[in-house]
Amino acid sequence: MSNMAAPDCVFHRTLTRSRPGPGPGLNKASPVVCREFLFLVELQRYSRDQGSSVYFPQAVLHGDDLYDVTLSDGDCRLRVTLDPGLNRLVERNLLQPGATLCDATFIPAMSAQHPACPGASAERDSFRLVSVQLSGEADEGRSLRQDSLPWYRSSGPAGALVPLRANRIVFLPLWNNVDYSGGGWRETPPAEEEEEEEEARRPAVTVSELRDSFLFGRRAIARGAVQHQLIVRIINKSHLMYFGKTDRNCECPYKAVLEVCDRTGSVCVVLWNSVCVSWYQRLKPGDIISLRRYRVKRHYEAEPEDIEISVNSRNPAARIAVLPESSVSPEYLPPAPTYSFYNSAELLDRPHGAECDVIGLLTFCGRAERMRSDGRRAELREYHWLRLEDGTSDQPIMVKLFSTSQPDTHLKLHPRLGHHSEMSYRRLRPVRLFLQWLRGRDDGQVLSRALIGGFFIYPPPPVSLETYMKDQRGAPRFLRGAELQGEVTRLCYRERRAFCIQAAVTMVTYSRRGEEDHCLFWTDRASSLSSSSPRPSPSSFSLPSTPRSFRPPLSSPSPRPSPSSFSLPSTPRSFRPPLSSPSPRPSPSSAVSQLSAHRSGKSCKKRKMVPTESQKRRPLVTVQAGQNNDTVILFEASMEFLENSNADEDDDDDDGDTSSFVTAPLLPPFPPVAVETLPMRYNHTRREEQAVVLAMGGGRATAADSFDSALEGYYTLRLRALSDGESIDAVFLPHSPSAPLAPHSNTWTSILSHGAFSSHTPPPSPVDLINMAAQLSNQRLVCVLEACHLGGDTTELVLSRAFHLTH
């Protein structure tokens, strides 16, 4: 397609003003601002290298990542580099494919200063995006419609798409370092490495001969580049391992490990660099492969001393071929892979750390989340939970599935009655027994109880403070309320962390999803009246409806941004978007005060309401006196007043309603629950759509909102930190299908410590539980909060446990 810009191309009108003239003015090109709307087509991540910093002379490079962005003006496309100061927009999934941008500021990049970078050259147009405003919601479908447009001038790639600001030939996936990304990863072997089929192939060397030669020097075959053909079977294949470093220039810093065997023994084969790109997707466990031109090296991590086989694309360039079993001489055919299947009953007796194979019916698939193994700078590892059933016990098999370099396979993990006819293990006795049990299952019954997504925690936390503290290896670190809010704002997209605070409950609400204008709530009046209005909760950060401005940090401090725009600071702490300025409204404590004053006046008579047509649809508010100094409000909200006249007081009371009706207060200022927090019922017809919602960077709230929730409602608890009085709102799900079941007394203390209702008695209704909330008055609690950033301006905060402090 032509690279000529259209006459009315926005990029042509905007970027021609930034082109510097010849001579020393090259480094003094002025930034230009595009006032028109642009669309983000593609976002690509890679790690910087030794020379990347020359492109960002004034930027503070906090992390290892760089991002190339493909933009469209509707007529053509432009590839630019995101200024590192704006990386936080990607890390919190604010900047994503399909986003609409405006007031984008570009600066010409200095392409000629890093000639080793394959994606940049002095002859190609190159720009850096240094500030931007986001406008509206992302539309991924729009980004797909833009990818066939021509490139603006010479900004497009000369060949394969490669990073602009580092000497790399592949991109990283946005959310982990394990999966592959881009079209360069081949599913078929390179044509130049295909071998002609032969019959009765025989290896020129065996695994044991290579080991003996290298370790004991009995023969010289394992020295230097080994030309002898080795024929082995793949037993296991590791995930991809990325080792790119900012202080090294390596075009394709990947490796993968294959465990292989022949009839004489097993050994590890390490695929290095671009061999991974060419062969990783093609090779699978069970394949028989032929290796030539490889090196034998010492395997330093093995005990006792052992070897490994190194396969690289240079020095020397290895030769790999996948062989059909029929082509190998029977006496040299490598043995088939072995498996160690255990059912759910047998797994209970397996020691910690034992390797096992499992097979089961998938009845729950959790959403993708990320965690850090150690420390704030540690790599984020992506995972999700699976629940399998096999009919051998009441205990399901819980699998915490981390990324396995199989992104397409993970998208296909959903509840279904599948088959294993193509797998070699199907004849094993444990598998045959499972398949026999599976044939007796009713498809409709299984699928009707299958769940996906939502908040999930496993293993269940302890039910006593003493056990919890023991599991924490001592006293847990209790955060102040302000510290908690700071930690939550530092979370990256789908990052999950647990926090501990000491707090008191000042308010409890029960709401139905999508009907938050109707709710039940209880408030501790003494606590509410003695404290100031609650500060905004970290469970929700509301961004203004006006476009949001983002600029990279400057070396000198800048004035505090206005509510309609904010700058990206040099530290993650102050990245938190500002909250919308709410209009004046009564706080829950003032509402309680009004209601209590109304009831403390002269005795209420039964009154018959005479509503107008519009008032007939307005719900009522029933006030019930609570114990001690509490007020229980059964709240079906109305934003208008219910009117009555004195004449109505003497009317007939045919309806027999003995409740008193009062002026309706406004709703408590709780943010609605995120739709990603509540589990969804599996929808087989729309299983692909649901799989996308669960995945990282998926459809998020818009798509998830169209599926059936497994929970009708949810509880929200307002917590007041005992350390500094900060108010924190947390969702509580004692009725979740995934909540652990155990017998207890169903008091608020026992429900909070177990995180669920009792398994031996019917659960209290929402009305009953709200009525019981007076039990929480004046209680000091140790609260365990699970935080997960869901992208954009939404952060989930769930109360998983709360333990009563007795002293």
**What tens digit of pLDDT does each residue of 369-396 get?**
999 987 667 899 999 999 999 999 999 9
Contact 694, 711 (CB under 8 A): no
Whole-angstrom Cα distance, residue 446 to residue 278? Answer: 41
Q: How many structural domains comprise the chain?
A: 4
The reply to whether 387 falls in a domain is yes
- Domain membership of residue 82 as a residue range: 10-17+30-174
266 and 130 belong to one structural domain: no
The reply to whether 491 falls in a domain is yes
Question: 451-452 and 294-299 as β-strands: parallel, antiparallel, unpaired?
Answer: unpaired
Q: For 65-69, 164-168, 195-199, 552-556, which range has the lowest pLDDT when averaged over its residues?
A: 552-556
253 and 361 belong to one structural domain: no
Mean pLDDT of the 232-239 span: 97
Question: 306-311 and 265-272 as β-strands: parallel, antiparallel, unpaired?
Answer: parallel
Determine the pLDDT at residue 141.
60
786 and 676 belong to one structural domain: yes
170 and 226 belong to one structural domain: no
Question: Tell me: the pLDDT tens digits for 706-751?
Answer: 789 999 999 999 999 999 999 999 999 999 988 878 899 999 999 9
140 and 274 belong to one structural domain: no
Phi, psi for residue 429 in degrees, rounded to 5: -60, -45
The reply to whether 503 falls in a domain is yes
Q: Is the pTM of this model over 0.85?
A: no
432 and 476 belong to one structural domain: no
Mean pLDDT of the 591-599 span: 29
The reply to whether 222 falls in a domain is yes
Expressed in angstroms, the distance from the first to the final Cα of the chain is 75
The reply to whether 401 falls in a domain is yes
Contact 40, 101 (CB under 8 A): yes
83 and 142 belong to one structural domain: yes
Residue 254 has pLDDT above 50, yes or no: yes
Those residues whose C-beta lies under 8 Å from the C-beta of residue 544, and which sit 6 or more positions away, are: 563, 564, 578, 580
Residue 134 has pLDDT above 80, yes or no: yes
Question: Tell me: the pLDDT tens digits for 440-490?
Answer: 998 888 889 999 999 999 999 999 999 998 888 766 789 999 999 999 999
> For residue 151, what are its two tokens?
């490139």
Mean pLDDT of the 190-201 span: 68
SS3 401: strand
Q: Closest by alpha carbon to 664, among 626, 695, 633?
A: 633
Mean pLDDT computed over every residue of the chain: 79
The reply to whether 471 falls in a domain is yes
155 and 42 belong to one structural domain: yes
Q: Which of 399, 417, 452 is the last residue of a domain?
A: 452
> For residue 387, what are its two tokens?
């629940």
Let me know if 234 is exposed, middle or buried by CB neighbors in 10 A (0-12, 13-18, 19+). buried
CATH number (domain holding residue 133) = 2.40.50.140
Helices (H) and strands (E) in the chain — how many of each?
A: 17, 30
Q: Which helix (H) or strand (E) holds 306?
A: strand 306-311
Let me know if 444 is exposed, middle or buried by CB neighbors in 10 A (0-12, 13-18, 19+). exposed
Q: Closest by alpha carbon to 170, among 178, 179, 159, 162?
A: 162
346 and 291 belong to one structural domain: no
SS3 732: strand
The reply to whether 229 falls in a domain is yes
SS3 320: strand
CB-based burial, 337-353: b 16+ in 10 Å, e otherwise: eeeebbbbeebeeeeee
Determine the pLDDT at residue 494.
97
Determine the pLDDT at residue 193.
61
Q: For 91-95, 290-294, 316-320, 517-521, which range has the lowest pLDDT when averaged over its residues?
A: 517-521
714 and 763 belong to one structural domain: yes
The reply to whether 624 falls in a domain is no
Determine the pLDDT at residue 183.
81
Q: Which helix (H) or strand (E) holds 271?
A: strand 265-272
Contact 189, 278 (CB under 8 A): yes
216 and 301 belong to one structural domain: yes
791 and 764 belong to one structural domain: yes
Q: Which of 323, 350, 372 is the last residue of a domain?
A: 323
Determine the pLDDT at residue 664.
37
